[in-house]
Amino acid sequence: MDARLNYFADPTADKVLKHFMSAGKALKASPLPTATQELVALRVSQINGCAVCIDMHTKEAAAAGETSVRLHLVAAWREATVFTEAERAALELAEEGTRVADAAGGVSDEVWANAAKHYDQEQLAALVILVSFMNTANRLNIINQQPAGNYEPGQFH
């Protein structure tokens, strides 16, 4: 399978994506814990069915020391006992923030309050931006039919 477009060969796409990727680097440097970032990125990508992002964030998380058990259980985090309460709050916010069309009210006050119990303002801002960033990245890759499986940890950082 080949991607429909080579984003980096197109002058407009290249310019836009360089700015977009710099936003991703800023998120990586935020005070939101790395494990939480990778778990959220993975869950959003699972919901959206973005193979290239699932590949990337599974490998990035493993390279950062994440266990295979936790990575395999992200899709079923509600029933899994391996996630902290803070991680569960972030995953729930990520799901509601991704499934906005399914949950007509968007992110509920209850889910927001639960996340706010575990994360300070700067971390919450990073979490919200990360969910939005991942939804955008997923759509860019899905529309373009970006092939998955060849990602190497650190490739885009």
- Say which residues have a Cβ less than 8 Å from residue 104's Cβ, sequence separation at least 6: none
Whether residue 155 is predicted with pLDDT greater than 70 in this model: the reply is yes
Distance CA 22, CA 50 (A): 21
Q: Is the dihedral of CA 37, 43, 47, 48 positive or negative?
A: positive
**For all residues of the chain together, what is the average pLDDT?**
95
How many Cβ atoms are within 10 Å of 148's Cβ, its own excluded? 14
Residues of the chain above pLDDT 90, percent? 90
**Whole-angstrom Cα distance, residue 157 to residue 146?**
18
Confidence of residue 137 (pLDDT cuts 50, 70, 90): very high
What pLDDT, on a 0 to 100 scale, did the predictor assign at position 143? 97
Lowest mean pLDDT among 5-9, 82-86, 87-91, 117-121: 5-9
**Does 77 have pLDDT greater than 70?**
yes
What does the pLDDT read at residue 141?
96
As a whole number of angstroms, the distance between CA 78 and CA 70 comes to 12
Residue 104 has pLDDT above 80, yes or no: no
Fill in the DSSP letter of residue 75. Answer: G
Note whether 77 and 88 are within 8 A (CB). yes
Give one DSSP letter per residue of 12-23, joined into a string.
HHHHHHHHHHHH
pLDDT (average), residues 51-55: 97
- Quickly state the pLDDT bin for 157 (edges 50, 70, 90): low
DSSP state of 8: G
